């Protein structure tokens, strides 16, 4: 019985991990710093979370569809340099649109590789990661471009509605919209079906390839958005801007509870993961914890959460795609006893 | 020079208990770490509270940390720019909030520098220029050279490449760049690339511009392996202990010494002076000391 | 409604030809299905039944041939198009999404909406209605993955029924159902037929075809052999049409003197699965383990093999008491298990027949370091020969072989390990008559050579014919031990359904 | 020699264009690159340059050899490689003074292997997704390695071992010998031993392998432990030959290794693959790097070319598989 209680506790811990983490960070930050629980800090945590947030948000449907996109950082760099480069050529707003369009375009390339050429997404996006990171350097001759109109993007990070800035507001709205889409609309539900079991979804008349392709394009869109916002708000388009973004984005999504195996996840969980990670980073930074020590903490947190998840959900749960094609009910479900 | 700023730390009373936010380039790096230690030492000496946050070589992260420092309402900010432009919005915010910003080690872009009260450090663009002069002089302005550059897109790489190329051009140098490779400030990568360069160009390589001593070492290793017995003029930067040895042995022509610990101290002292309302020069230089066979025995390696 | 004399044609396939690299799967096949009939399709493994159905469902494009549904020609035939034209498919393998709810699964691909949003209320109501029609009380809100296999099978059927199709294809629907579920299914099929729906029913169990079918079409080697009224054909005739020859004896039975005890299980329990199971197997003996689906047969087998270790009770093998915690220990002790889920637990698809054969015993044909490849090849070729693996190319990856041959390989791999006890869980599920006879033969030989066999099967006739003794499980408890002499379909079923055992 | 090489998995079906492609793609790719090189640059076909090619990726190639087992056994990829390389290098140089070079190198290997063992436990025994698990351990280990040196560089002291590592035997650098040596052990390990057969089976169908008495968890864990060890070896060798080490020493090596394995044609899904083909993949990536410099392309183009080759090779392979109806 004791064992059972422990398991239940673990299950609850996993279920409410975001709340627990956010509260823990708030308590830790509040106790160790005088100025942590202030409007200013909240605003800055939210604002800082935005860029990784967009990337993580874009990654969410991809992971739900059972795929992975390693190229988000490269897409972001490409979008950023496009935006800044195009500013003097076609004007500020069209240039921003062009940046996002570049993200979408590369997303479409990923979709093409995965859906049409049937290359495993891990390999395909590793290749596009290399290709577009390299292209970004070649196009700019490795030099960050500086904006001709540095003032244009500044309002993005200005004060706006209490703890928000315009870009963090857009991020929050995007996360909520995505939540509504994923949970409440048929296409959203179909995406889960595709990630959970693509062949079953196909046989129900769902165009699984279409959904997978769309998820990559969407990821491109969000990476484009991230690159565009980042470049405008820093008034610079750096070819290496996205190079360090992949790991925090994946970490945030996974901490939120979306699984790499597909079929599960939510954009609000991702939002939570992004915020928890962002708040933790800020709290640690303010305490003067060196970045490598922070890396140790986040790494341990990641391992802890996923191990806990694993242990709580039982060893019977399949851990890979191939294993889940064995369509059996989890062994720990009670036996049906219907013949009275 | 140093004398200007020594006075800054003289009257510590007025800044005691104030807070400084220091956006550093990295926590773990041969040059940056001692600089951070120097900054910490100077802050401790002045009794100010120093929070060090590391952008881990990412200007994007740094820009966000800068914003975050501003919104914390600290009394002064020390910034290590990872590229020229990305900090402009944060600098504007700091200006609005009345928080003085001083840059360390690397210059930001011109527009950004207008919002930065002072710059304390060796000028990396200048280092590129010095390297160009060294090579040009040693080779009498003729012959082929190879450039082993750092990580593409990295701020230091950009400054050292820029200064080097601009100076060659303005000198009207006759040096011919045979090839440029990026070896990411990594000895192994420099080694692998240099083997190929030596194979391709052999003794056409009269000179080598390595953007740090680690990569210079990689080149020398490749040269040694090749068994060829020509001696190109190898110019490095950073003043590493290994480079001192190589200069003594005549394998390397020169390096540029910039003491990191002192760089950190100097930057904090400058910032404190600004916070006190003293006027400081636009640039507080950390001397770029050229180390070659003539003075190698008189100097201490920086790292 | 159609008149009795001239039934309307619901579906017509003409001249369907389909080849895969190296295989002519279908050759000029015609098929005509009437409204309101149950049309059975039978044929050996690899005869092309599933391929024909996948073409009907739009998953494969035929190389040649035409499909006509409800009198209209099918063009641009995709799964989506097929579905919208009223074709419903129920596959042998479940086609459900474990991470969505039952109701979402039932409405998958066509969720009711209100505005842009899913209308969950309408969706649950619809699911509820269909599930009730199928006589189950599954909650539409449950996550599908949390249901048992047979419940999932019912959801699969509900999903198709809910779309109100004109033509429903059942491709071996009963292979994972027990008798009770099969009854429910047959009731549903009869109801659908009476509403004028055309049913295509594929099964290797000819008894079922006799019971539920109106007409039957026999395929052999990708060709249409014959279509007949079920009333005018016997199972034996069907078999000879399927194989093109007469099978002399389907269940060979050797008469063997029984030897000493190989296996004894005493008081074995696993909470929620089986309780206080006591049974034994002797040398030369084939012991059956019967029961309804969910009675715990597979669980007993898995526990014996160390996949889910026992919580209580003892296992004695050849006089030695064993503690078995993993398949490795089981194999080392001399136990082998041919699992019921061949694709999931039986075969390694990408490895060759040779590599599959020797997997459990690979350490035995290895010197200190390396595998003896020559020896391995020799052993494997002989074994493939003995088991009549077809085609006899042991270097080909196993996934290109037909189901029956894959099953032979799984069986063969365990024979190689020379076990004392061979556990077989549904060894002939989804296997055609020819291969089935081969498999029975192999089992018989194994027993003859002194092994003990514990065999689980949902096909009672098979158990009755093959086994020396039958233990019957009912809700995880041994309800009866029946000797060969007393074993009849009736006595076993009574015990399996929990009625008192006839004296 | 021939006895050591198992019959290629694909030879018996070499009648189809797909099988032909997957058998011959690597030799052909190498040939094409060699032809391009010899046409484009007179220095390409020199002993020196060919030694350079072999030498270029022999350190990171060690990791690719280990990564082959990770992928074959269905473990996707080990992203903690850079951390283990750094651990191997830093521990060796850090401990050199107190315990002598030989012991210190062993110590470095041990620590890196322990990183691999932790990965193995998380992935093999706890069955955590390998991408997440190695991301996590990589983050922790790299953090630890930086904590270890506080920053900065660790310098080596001159030692017989480092002189040996830098030397050549029979005109061929020791690095290459080590790579060949490890490849010669690992190739038969995958193709000819029980462990290799287990790896293929575990990657092909985990549950079936488990039910066939294969020690599935051990097999999977061992692949990661081995990769950890080889990453450590790579770090130790680099530290000794470079005479110094920094935490960034292995940055990007995980991608180079994955790329080499994937170009070699090992499936990311697991269940097939060969060490010999990975050696081919390592050669191809080395040739690309070499040619970029010899042809005077900007080094930033490396990613572009490598990525394109990966897409091309894997795409064509997938195309043929699909045509053969097996995907
Ligand atoms: N995708 C495919 N690629 C290659 N060959 C195939 C493919 N699908 C089926 N075949 C081959 O086509 C033939 C017909 O197979 P099919 O699955 O239709 O048989 P079946 O009658 O349904 O058999 P079973 O009773 O075992 O289900 C077989 O020889 C099979 O190996
Ligand atoms: N692989 C599995 N995973 C989870 N639950 C299972 C699995 N196999 C069977 N079950 C469920 O466990 C219970 C006991 O099933 P078991 O397989 O032992 O029965 P069985 O008599 O062997 O029936 P079957 O004919 O399905 O093999 C049933 O409710 C069944 O649905
Ligand atoms: Mg079939
Ligand atoms: Mg069963």
Q: How far apart are CA C207 and CA C214, in angstroms?
A: 13
Residue in C403, D195, C372, C373 with CA at minimum distance from that of residue C411:
C403
The DSSP 8-state label assigned to residue A113 in this structure reads I
Residue in A89, A43, A95 with CA at minimum distance from that of residue A227:
A95
Number of B/D CB contacts below 8 angstroms equals 95
In a domain, A339, yes or no: no
Are B85 and A157 an interchain contact pair (Cβ–Cβ within 8 Å)?
no
Q: How far apart are CA D67 and CA D83, in angstroms?
A: 15
Burial B206-231 (b: 16+ CB within 10 A, else e): bbbbbbbbbbbbbbbbbbebbebeee
Q: What is the pLDDT of residues A269-285, one digit of tens each?
A: 999 999 989 888 888 88
Q: How far apart are CA C32 and CA C11, in angstroms?
A: 6
Q: How far apart are CA B282 and CA B286, in angstroms?
A: 13
Higher pLDDT, A298 or C204: A298
Which residue of B188, B244, B260, B303 is the best one to mutate when testing the D interface, meaning the one whose CB has the most D CBs within 10 A?
B188
Helices B59-72 and B88-97, packing angle to 10 deg? 10
Q: What is the pLDDT of residue C3?
A: 45
Query: Closest-lying ligand to the alpha carbon of C458?
Result: 2
**From A240, which residue of chain B is nearest by alpha-carbon distance?**
B153
Q: What is the pLDDT of residue C245?
A: 57
Q: What is the pLDDT of residues A88-102, one digit of tens each?
A: 999 889 999 999 999
- The structure tokens listed for C421 are 């006890």
Are B53 and A41 an interchain contact pair (Cβ–Cβ within 8 Å)?
no
- Asked if residue A335 has its Cβ within 6 Å of ligand 2, the reply is yes
Q: What is the pLDDT of residue D219?
A: 96
Could you tell me if D306 and D292 are in contact, meaning their C-beta atoms sit under 8 angstroms apart?
A: no
Q: How far apart are CA C416 and CA C421, in angstroms?
A: 13
The DSSP 8-state label assigned to residue D143 in this structure reads H
Q: How far apart are CA C196 and CA C38, in angstroms?
A: 10
- Asked if residue A2 has its Cβ within 6 Å of ligand 2, the reply is no
Are A336 and C89 an interchain contact pair (Cβ–Cβ within 8 Å)?
no
Domain around A165: 2-326
Helices B213-226 and D216-242, packing angle to 10 deg? 90
- The structure tokens listed for C336 are 């082998």
Ligand 4 centroid distance, CA of D202 (Å): 24
**% of chain B with per-residue pLDDT over 70:** 96
Higher pLDDT, D3 or C30: C30
Ligand 4 centroid distance, CA of C454 (Å): 13
**Measured CA distances, B223 to A47, A241, A262 (Å):** 50, 35, 52
Q: What is the pLDDT of residue A113?
A: 94
Mean pLDDT over each residue of chain A, to the nearest integer: 83
State the closest ligand 2 atom to the C-alpha of A329, by its place in the atom list counted from 1. 4
Are C328 and D213 an interchain contact pair (Cβ–Cβ within 8 Å)?
yes
Q: Which residues contact B31 (CB under 8 A, 6 or more apart)?
A: B238, B260, B302, B303
Ligand 3 centroid distance, CA of C175 (Å): 11
Whether the per-residue pLDDT at A104 is higher than 60: the answer is: yes
Planar angle of CA D83, A245, B29, nearest 5 degrees = 45
| Residues present in chain D in total | 327
Q: How far apart are CA D94 and CA D239, in angstroms?
A: 10
D136: which chain A residues are within 8 Å (Cβ-Cβ)? 299-300, 302-303, 306
Are A328 and C159 an interchain contact pair (Cβ–Cβ within 8 Å)?
no
Name the β-bridge partners of B254: B235, B292
Q: How far apart are CA B174 and CA B144, in angstroms?
A: 9
Are D207 and C330 an interchain contact pair (Cβ–Cβ within 8 Å)?
no
Mean pLDDT over each residue of chain D, to the nearest integer: 87
Tell me: domain C246-334+420-503, CATH 3.40.50.300, correct? yes
Are B71 and A44 an interchain contact pair (Cβ–Cβ within 8 Å)?
yes
Are B89 and A143 an interchain contact pair (Cβ–Cβ within 8 Å)?
no
Which residue among C156, C177, C273, C299 is best mutated to probe the pocket of ligand 2, counting the most ligand atoms within 8 A of its Cβ? Answer: C299
- Asked if residue A322 has its Cβ within 6 Å of ligand 2, the reply is no
In a domain, A332, yes or no: no
Q: How far is CA C42 from the centre of its chain?
A: 15
Could you tell me if B205 and B198 are in contact, meaning their C-beta atoms sit under 8 angstroms apart?
A: yes
Are A243 and B58 an interchain contact pair (Cβ–Cβ within 8 Å)?
yes
Query: Closest-lying ligand to the alpha carbon of C431?
Result: 1
H-state helical runs in A16-120: 17-32, 39-64, 72-90, 92-111
Q: How confident is the model at residue B104 (pLDDT cuts 50, 70, 90)?
A: very high
Most distant CA pair in chain D, distance: 61
Q: Label residue D324 exposed, middle or buried (CB < 10 Å: 0-12, 13-18, 19+).
A: middle
Are A130 and D207 an interchain contact pair (Cβ–Cβ within 8 Å)?
no
Q: Which residues contact C374 (CB under 8 A, 6 or more apart)?
A: none
Domain count, chain D: 1
What are the residues whose beta carbon lies below 5 Å from ligand 4 (ion)?
C 298, 340
Q: What is the pLDDT of residues B6-58, one digit of tens each?
A: 444 444 447 788 899 999 998 888 888 889 999 999 999 988 989 999 888 88
Beta strand B19-24 with B49-54 is parallel
**CB-based contact (8 Å) between A319 and chain C?**
no
- Asked if residue C149 has its Cβ within 6 Å of ligand 2, the reply is yes
Ligand 2 centroid distance, CA of C312 (Å): 20
Which residue of B68, B74, B113 is the best one to mutate when testing the A interface, meaning the one whose CB has the most A CBs within 10 A?
B68
State the closest ligand 2 atom to the C-alpha of C458, by its place in the atom list counted from 1. 25
**Measured CA distances, C159 to A43, C36, C98, C103, C196 (Å):** 49, 20, 14, 9, 19
**Measured CA distances, B151 to A242, B157, B161, D245, D299 (Å):** 15, 6, 11, 17, 10
A60 min Cα distance to partner chain B (Å): 22
A292: which chain B residues are within 8 Å (Cβ-Cβ)? 27-28
Q: Is A203 helix (H, G, I), strand (E, B) or coil?
A: helix
**CB-based contact (8 Å) between D49 and chain B?**
yes
D193: which chain C residues are within 8 Å (Cβ-Cβ)? 366, 369-371
Q: What is the DSSP string of C103-140?
A: HHHHTTTS--EETTEE-HHHHHHHHHHHHHHTT----T
Of C95, C108, C148, the CB nearest to A329: C148
Q: How far is CA D87 from the centre of its chain?
A: 17
**From C342, which residue of chain D is nearest by alpha-carbon distance?**
D208
Domain C9-245, CATH homologous superfamily name and number: P-loop containing nucleotide triphosphate hydrolases (3.40.50.300)
Q: How confident is the model at residue D66 (pLDDT cuts 50, 70, 90)?
A: very high
Ligand 3 centroid distance, CA of C171 (Å): 7
**From D144, which residue of chain B is nearest by alpha-carbon distance?**
B28
A328 min Cα distance to partner chain C (Å): 6
Are C21 and D193 an interchain contact pair (Cβ–Cβ within 8 Å)?
no
Q: How far apart are CA B271 and CA B277, in angstroms?
A: 10
Q: How confident is the model at residue D324 (pLDDT cuts 50, 70, 90)?
A: low
**% of chain A with per-residue pLDDT over 90:** 42
Could you give phi then psi for residue C7, rounded to 5 degrees? -65, 140
Name the one residue in this structure whose structure tokens are 């296992």.
C315
Could you tell me if B66 and B94 are in contact, meaning their C-beta atoms sit under 8 angstroms apart?
A: yes
**Measured CA distances, A320 to A197, B258, D223 (Å):** 12, 53, 17
D155: which chain B residues are within 8 Å (Cβ-Cβ)? 241-242
Average pLDDT over residues D296-307: 88
Q: How far is CA A146 from the centre of its chain?
A: 27
| Secondary structure element (H or E) that encloses residue B247, with its range | helix B241-248
Name the β-bridge partners of D193: none
Q: Is B163 helix (H, G, I), strand (E, B) or coil?
A: helix
Ligand 1 centroid distance, CA of C13 (Å): 18
Q: What is the pLDDT of residue B158?
A: 87
Q: How far apart are CA B271 and CA B38, in angstroms?
A: 14
In a domain, A25, yes or no: yes
Q: How far is CA C187 from the centre of its chain?
A: 20
Q: What is the pLDDT of residue C222?
A: 87
Q: How far apart are CA C400 and CA C398, in angstroms?
A: 5
- Asked if residue C299 has its Cβ within 6 Å of ligand 2, the reply is yes
For atom 12 of ligand 2, the residue with the nearest CA is: C294
Domain around D302: 2-326
Q: Is C277 helix (H, G, I), strand (E, B) or coil?
A: strand
| Secondary structure element (H or E) that encloses residue B275, with its range | helix B260-275
Whether the per-residue pLDDT at A142 is higher than 90: the answer is: no
Q: Which residues contact C191 (CB under 8 A, 6 or more apart)?
A: none
Q: What is the pLDDT of residue D186?
A: 96
| Secondary structure element (H or E) that encloses residue C243, with its range | helix C235-243
Q: What is the pLDDT of residue C257?
A: 63
Could you tell me if C33 and C52 are in contact, meaning their C-beta atoms sit under 8 angstroms apart?
A: no
Q: How far apart are CA C394 and CA B140, in angstroms?
A: 74
Q: How confident is the model at residue A316 (pLDDT cuts 50, 70, 90)?
A: very low
Domain count, chain A: 1
- Under-50 pLDDT residues of chain C: 1-3, 247-249, 501-503
| Residues present in chain A in total | 340
Q: How confident is the model at residue A287 (pLDDT cuts 50, 70, 90)?
A: confident
In a domain, A95, yes or no: yes
Could you give phi then psi for residue B118, rounded to 5 degrees? -160, 165
- CATH of residue A221's domain is 1.10.3470
Are B86 and A238 an interchain contact pair (Cβ–Cβ within 8 Å)?
yes
Q: Is D90 helix (H, G, I), strand (E, B) or coil?
A: helix
B158: which chain A residues are within 8 Å (Cβ-Cβ)? 142-144
Whether the per-residue pLDDT at A66 is higher than 60: the answer is: yes
Average pLDDT over residues D304-309: 90
Q: How far apart are CA C163 and CA D63, in angstroms?
A: 54
**From D150, which residue of chain A is nearest by alpha-carbon distance?**
A292
State the closest ligand 2 atom to the C-alpha of C299, by its place in the atom list counted from 1. 18
Name the residue ranges covered by the structural domains of chain C.
Answer: 9-245, 246-334+420-503, 346-418
| Secondary structure element (H or E) that encloses residue C482, with its range | strand C477-483
Could you tell me if D244 and D178 are in contact, meaning their C-beta atoms sit under 8 angstroms apart?
A: no
The DSSP 8-state label assigned to residue C101 in this structure reads B
For atom 6 of ligand 1, the residue with the nearest CA is: C20
**From D287, which residue of chain B is nearest by alpha-carbon distance?**
B196
D128: which chain A residues are within 8 Å (Cβ-Cβ)? 303, 306-307, 310, 319
Higher pLDDT, D228 or D270: D228
Q: How far apart are CA C391 and CA B14, in angstroms?
A: 93
Q: How far apart are CA B235 and CA B212, in angstroms?
A: 9
**Measured CA distances, A99 to A37, A195, B222, D304 (Å):** 36, 29, 43, 20
In a domain, A286, yes or no: yes
Q: What is the pLDDT of residue D203?
A: 93
Are C118 and A189 an interchain contact pair (Cβ–Cβ within 8 Å)?
yes
Q: How far apart are CA C161 and CA C85, in angstroms?
A: 14
Which residue among A315, A326, A329 is best mutated to probe the pocket of ligand 2, counting the most ligand atoms within 8 A of its Cβ? Answer: A329
Whether the per-residue pLDDT at D7 is higher than 50: the answer is: no
Beta strand C477-483 with C469-474 is antiparallel
Residue in D221, D311, D305, D322 with CA at minimum distance from that of residue D33:
D305
Name the one residue in this structure whose structure tokens are 């700019």.
A140
Could you tell me if B17 and B296 are in contact, meaning their C-beta atoms sit under 8 angstroms apart?
A: no
Whether the per-residue pLDDT at A29 is higher than 90: the answer is: no
């Amino acid at each position: 019985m004791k064992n059972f209680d422990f398991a239940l506790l673990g299950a609850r811990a996993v279920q409410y991990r975001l709340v627990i983490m956010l509260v823990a960070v708030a308590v830790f930050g509040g106790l160790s710093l005088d100025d942590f629980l202030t409007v200013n800090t909240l605003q800055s945590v939210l604002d800082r979370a935005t860029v990784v947030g967009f990337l993580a948000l874009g990654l969410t449907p991809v992971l739900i569809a059972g795929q992975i996109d390693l190229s988000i950082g490269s897409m972001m760099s490409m979008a950023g340099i496009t935006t800044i480069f195009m500013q003097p050529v076609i004007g500020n707003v069209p240039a921003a649109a062009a940046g996002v369009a570049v993200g979408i375009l590369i997303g479409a390339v990923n979709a093409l590789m995965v859906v049409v050429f049937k290359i495993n997404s891990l390999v395909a996006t590793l290749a596009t990661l290399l290709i577009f990171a390299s292209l970004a350097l070649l196009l700019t001759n490795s030099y960050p471009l500086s904006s001709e109109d540095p003032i244009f993007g500044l309002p993005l990070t200005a004060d706006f509605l209490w703890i928000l800035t315009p870009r963090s507001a857009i991020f929050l709205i995007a996360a909520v919209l995505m939540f509504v889409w994923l949970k409440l609309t048929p296409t959203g539900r179909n995406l889960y079906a595709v990630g959970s079991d693509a062949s079953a979804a196909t046989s129900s008349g769902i165009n699984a390839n279409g959904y997978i392709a769309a998820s990559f394009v969407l990821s491109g869109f969000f990476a484009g958005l991230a690159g565009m916002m980042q470049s405008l708000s820093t008034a610079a388009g750096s070819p290496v801007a996205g190079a360090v973004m992949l790991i925090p984005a994946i970490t945030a999504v996974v901490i939120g509870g979306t699984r790499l195996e597909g079929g599960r996840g939510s954009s609000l969980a991702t939002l939570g993961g992004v915020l928890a990670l962002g708040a933790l980073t800020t709290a640690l930074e303010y305490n003067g914890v060196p970045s490598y020590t922070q890396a140790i903490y986040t790494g341990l947190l990641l391992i802890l959460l996923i191990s806990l998840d694993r242990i709580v959900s039982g060893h019977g749960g399949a851990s890979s795609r191939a294993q889940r094609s064995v369509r059996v009910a989890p062994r720990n479900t009670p036996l049906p006893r219907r013949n009275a | 020079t140093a004398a200007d700023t020594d006075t800054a730390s003289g009257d510590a009373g007025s800044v005691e208990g104030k807070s400084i936010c220091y956006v550093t380039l990295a926590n773990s790096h041969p040059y940056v770490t001692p600089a951070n230690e120097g900054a910490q030492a100077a802050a401790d000496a002045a009794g100010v509270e120093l929070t060090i946050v590391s952008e881990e070589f990412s200007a994007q992260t740094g820009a966000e940390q800068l914003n975050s420092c501003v919104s914390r309402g600290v009394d002064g900010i020390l910034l290590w720019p990872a590229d020229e432009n990305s900090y402009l919005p944060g600098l504007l915010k700091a200006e609005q909030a009345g928080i003085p910003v001083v840059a360390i080690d690397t210059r930001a872009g011109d527009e950004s520098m207008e919002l930065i009260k002072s710059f304390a450090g060796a000028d990396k663009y200048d280092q590129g220029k010095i390297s160009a002069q060294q090579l040009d002089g040693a080779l009498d302005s003729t012959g082929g050279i190879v450039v082993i550059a750092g990580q593409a897109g990295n701020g230091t790489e950009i400054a050292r490449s820029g200064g080097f190329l601009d100076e060659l051009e303005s000198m009207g140098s006759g040096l011919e760049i045979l090839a440029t490779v990026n070896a990411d400030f990594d000895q192994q990568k420099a080694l692998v690339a240099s083997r190929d360069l030596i194979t391709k160009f052999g003794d056409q390589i009269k000179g080598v511009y390595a953007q740090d001593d680690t990569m210079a070492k990689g080149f020398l290793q490749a040269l040694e392996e090749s068994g060829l017995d020509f001696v190109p003029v190898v110019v490095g930067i950073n003043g590493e202990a290994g480079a001192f040895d190589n200069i003594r042995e005549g394998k390397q022509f020169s390096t540029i010494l910039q003491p990191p610990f002192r760089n950190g101290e100097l930057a904090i002292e400058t910032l404190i002076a600004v916070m006190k309302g003293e006027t400081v020069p636009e640039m507080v230089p950390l001397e770029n000391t050229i180390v070659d066979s003539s003075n190698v025995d008189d100097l201490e390696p920086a790292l | 409604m159609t008149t009795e004399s001239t039934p309307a044609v619901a579906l017509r396939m003409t001249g369907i030809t389909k080849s895969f690299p190296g295989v002519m799967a279908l050759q000029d096949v015609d098929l005509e299905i009437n409204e309101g009939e149950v049309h059975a399709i039978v044929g050996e493994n690899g005869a092309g039944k599933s391929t024909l159905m996948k073409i009907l469902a739009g998953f494969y494009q035929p190389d040649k041939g035409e499909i006509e549904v409800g009198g209209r020609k099918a063009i641009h035939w995709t799964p989506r198009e097929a579905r919208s034209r009223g074709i419903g498919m129920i596959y042998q393998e479940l086609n459900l999404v474990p991470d969505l709810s039952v109701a979402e699964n039932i409405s998958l691909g066509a969720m009711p909406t209100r505005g842009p949003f899913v209308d969950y209320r309408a969706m649950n109501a619809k699911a509820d209605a269909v599930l009730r029609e199928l006589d189950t009380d599954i909650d539409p809100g449950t996550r599908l993955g949390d249901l048992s296999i047979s419940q999932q099978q019912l959801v699969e059927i509900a999903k198709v029924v809910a779309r109100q199709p004109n033509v429903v294809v059942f491709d071996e629907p009963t292979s994972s159902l027990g008798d009770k579920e099969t009854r429910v299914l047959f009731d549903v099929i009869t109801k659908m037929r009476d509403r004028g729906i055309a049913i295509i029913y594929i099964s290797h169990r000819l008894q079922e075809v006799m019971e539920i079918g109106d007409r039957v079409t026999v395929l052999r080697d990708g060709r249409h052999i014959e279509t007949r009224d079920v009333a005018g054909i016997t199972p034996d005739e069907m078999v000879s049409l399927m194989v093109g020859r007469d099978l002399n004896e389907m269940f060979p039975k050797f008469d063997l003197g029984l030897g000493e005890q190989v296996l004894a299980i005493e008081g074995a329990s696993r909470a929620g699965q089986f309780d206080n199971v006591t049974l034994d197997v002797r040398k030369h003996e084939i012991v059956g383990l019967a029961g309804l689906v969910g009675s715990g047969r597979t669980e007993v087998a898995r526990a014996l093999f160390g996949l889910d270790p026992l919580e209580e009770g003892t296992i004695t093998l050849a006089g030695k008491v064993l503690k078995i915690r993993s398949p490795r220990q089981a194999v080392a002790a001399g136990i082998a298990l041919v699992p019921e889920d061949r694709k999931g637990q039986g075969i390694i698809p990408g490895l060759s027949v040779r590599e599959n054969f020797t997997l459990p015993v690979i350490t035995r044909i290895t010197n200190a370091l390396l595998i003896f490849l020559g020896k391995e090849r020799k052993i494997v070729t002989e074994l493939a020969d003995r088991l009549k693996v077809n085609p006899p190319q042991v270097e080909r990856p196993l996934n290109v072989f037909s189901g029956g041959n894959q099953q032979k390989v799984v069986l063969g791999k365990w024979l190689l390990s020379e076990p004392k006890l061979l556990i077989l869980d549904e060894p002939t599920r989804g296997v055609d008559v020819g291969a089935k006879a081969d498999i029975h033969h192999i089992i018989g030989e194994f027993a003859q050579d002194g092994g003990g066999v514990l065999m689980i099967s949902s096909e009672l006739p098979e158990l009755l014919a093959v086994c020396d003794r039958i233990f019957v499980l009912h809700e995880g408890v041994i309800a009866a031990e029946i000797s060969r002499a007393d074993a009849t379909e009736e006595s076993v079923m009574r015990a399996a359904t929990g009625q008192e055992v006839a004296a | 020699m021939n006895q050591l090489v198992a019959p290629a998995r694909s030879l018996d079906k070499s009648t189809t264009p797909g099988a032909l492609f997957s058998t011959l793609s690597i030799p052909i790719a190498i040939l094409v690159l060699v032809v391009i090189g010899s046409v484009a640059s007179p220095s390409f076909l020199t002993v020196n340059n060919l030694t350079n090619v072999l030498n270029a990726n022999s350190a990171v190639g060690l990791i690719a050899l280990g990564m082959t087992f990770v992928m074959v056994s269905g473990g996707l990829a080990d992203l903690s490689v850079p951390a283990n390389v750094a651990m191997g290098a830093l521990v060796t140089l850090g401990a050199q003074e107190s315990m002598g070079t030989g012991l210190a190198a062993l110590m470095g290997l041990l620590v890196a292997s322990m990183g691999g063992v932790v990965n193995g436990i998380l992935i093999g025994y706890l069955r955590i997704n390998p991408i997440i698990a190695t991301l996590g351990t990589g983050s922790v280990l790299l953090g630890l390695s930086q904590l270890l040196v506080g920053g900065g560089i660790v310098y080596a002291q001159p030692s017989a071992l480092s002189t040996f590592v830098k030397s050549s035997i029979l005109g061929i650098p020791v690095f290459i010998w080590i790579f060949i040596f490890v490849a010669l052990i690992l190739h038969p390990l995958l193709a000819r031993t029980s462990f290799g057969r287990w790896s293929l089976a575990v990657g092909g169908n985990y549950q079936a392998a488990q039910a066939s008495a294969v020690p599935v968890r051990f097999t999977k864990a061992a692949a990661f432990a081995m990769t950890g060890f080889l990453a450590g070896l790579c770090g130790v060798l680099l530290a000794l030959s470079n005479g110094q080490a920094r935490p960034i020493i292995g940055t990007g090596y995980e991608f180079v290794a994955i790329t080499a394995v994937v170009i070699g044609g090992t499936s990311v899904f697991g269940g097939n693959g060969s060490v010999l083909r990975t050696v081919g993949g390592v050669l191809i990536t080395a040739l690309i790097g070499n040619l970029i410099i010899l042809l005077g392309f900007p080094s930033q183009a490396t990613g572009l070319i490598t990525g394109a080759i990966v897409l091309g090779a894997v795409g064509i392979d997938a195309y043929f598989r699909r045509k053969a109806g097996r995907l």
